[in-house]
Amino acid sequence: MLFTPFFIALGAALAAMFGREKLSYSLFVVLVIVMLVLFVHNATDVMNASF
């Protein structure tokens, strides 16, 4: 699941290299959304830090 953003970023970079501007922007937006969803999914637990 955590490899998904890397594949989306690769697709956005390749689309930008081949001149597919709208596709690269769309993949970048999808990448940001996926990163936010993964962050919320993985960072919801409270840290019990004791000093």
* pLDDT (mean) for 7-11: 97
Residue 49 lies in a domain: no
Domain ranges, residue 20 = 4-40
Residue 26 lies in a domain: yes
% of residues, the chain, pLDDT over 90? 67
Residue 12 lies in a domain: yes
Q: How many domains does the chain have?
A: 1
Give yes or no for a contact between 33 and 25, defined as CB atoms under 8 angstroms apart: no
Rounded-to-integer distance, Cα 11 and Cα 28, Å: 9
Other Cβ atoms within 10 Å of 28 Cβ, number:
17
Rounded-to-integer distance, Cα 8 and Cα 5, Å: 5
Residue 46, pLDDT above cutoff 80: no
Considering the entire predicted model, what is its pTM? 0.79
Residue 23 lies in a domain: yes
Going by the DSSP 8-state scheme, the letter that residue 44 receives in this structure is -
Give residue 51's pLDDT. 82
Contacts of 23 (CB under 8 A, 6+ apart): 12, 15
